[in-house]
Chain A
């Protein structure tokens, strides 16, 4: 290949594709190297047996931010977010709660809680909106600030002070570093409702409702919701990924599958390209990695090309996955007690109270998996019949809060645990176990291995306060550029973090173009 590349993007996850597309749009000659045979990474499609298809890890998503959609003309490439999905919190006694947007309903739910929730949803939507200036650009440096940094901070300050108003700003500053348990306990009585809300603050994280920083994780989720309501990922594979790949290709990005990066090459502190497994070398002055920071720095770059303290900080990144995933092929639609068949199109939660979640997390802390785990269940086939044979379904279950290292070893439970989970869900849908055709079980270590993310964390690293904003993924690489000249990060491990938002990729591309041109 004699053609000279301007940039190599490592990994064709959604952030890698967004970044590659934005760089190509600015005129750069970009190649994306993807280890798998398809793009999408954790948000890509997956097959279960031959006849059943299911989204990999991201089985729900929010619409991408408007500016990402616009810049890559995603709508022209067939991007249509799915229809809004409600969240149903299953209750053992059948008094399920149903939540759509700011409205929550259910048996025995008091009006006071109903309106408290509406206010809460409003307030926290406002708080999330106030973070917009910070989320849609590189996080500002606090030392040696440049004009952009000052502008970001000024806009953030303005949004918090003037956008929220005085009283709301005080409330924002009061709660932002709190835990979700205390906040919800202040304003809501109903245990079911508190469990439902708290589930969204802890799912995917190594945290219980009482863990510090869970208001922040909740706000980040609410921020993602600003682009539109949550939907169940159910395209033929995934709408986002297909549209992103089409958009990137349309902009001239070359997508190379089956290309596993072994090393990011560094000479005299500057990257020169990558070496693939098998020895082929691709040269480029810019390398943008959407792999997680630990994989990028410790495996691809290597400690010998980095400073010692930086390496140590990288190795300390908190990024053990908190989720195991169960995929089940079903020969028919399960009947959930107290729900009609249409509810299969919604998101079902087993998170009946905050105490339930806190106990699930307690086990995780001690390298155990609770026998009463947090479960998040979707039926992508309810949205797209092509995912399963006629009349059949696929069920996607997130299991939290799973320890990355299970004391008894994941292998020991990999055979039995899926049936226990199915039995747990079966308490709400008695015919479920009769419908099971087959299943696959993704433990955190298997997620780590299959998706090449150290720790197997959805967000490539916890979005705790010490790993967020100008500290994400870590001091020394928090503005997408790294200690290696020409090497940038653009994955979920960077600001503003995980979720199918495209924001890390978009922000990173801006930073690459700013520094490289």
Chain B
């Protein structure tokens, strides 16, 4: 076995391979018995290291808490994929959502000041995107009474940023009245894994191609497809998306990017096509 393969095996066992490398390596494991045996030996050595740590048992109540959470868990919803919301429709109920929020959010966006800190507030991630980068900003939102209110809050924020792009972070910070530059932004609530993506000046994909929205945790390299962007004869739009509640992306610091893919496979697990907006790194 050559050094390169041994190095890949080491990094695989240490969970340090990039997602693409990991999938390729796992493919080799299916057919290479020697490689599988090597990985098993390395895993065994690492397991010994974990078990040789100073051992402590968790508090006795831990198991009951876990089972309570499992039993309280609602049925897993079907994975939602970039549901297109016609802009006009969104404007209608979005305005209602703003009214529901009261003046707090509007004042925040016009003054640039944070809402009063509260333990029950949730932090929403706002990510400005251009052709080469992601720029982060977090915004605290007041605690929502339920999932519907949380969704309405998020929609209202997305809509407000659409109207006031000067509040967007980073390179998208400057108002762009002419709307000639390819740009976009996402608002994403890591707590419930829901978000909105707004895009401007994104040309229609070439025939047979589709735009995919990807979410990536740049620290753990977890990557997930959030769905297809249905441009529907427009070069701009605002779309909602939601990751599966069991998504392995649990970080509240994620990046977003859009690629042009040649297939419309809703179960795609990695981008193959060219990036058209945002990047997969910080």
A and B bind: no
Which residues of A does B touch, CB under 8 Å? none
Which residues of B does A touch, CB under 8 Å? none
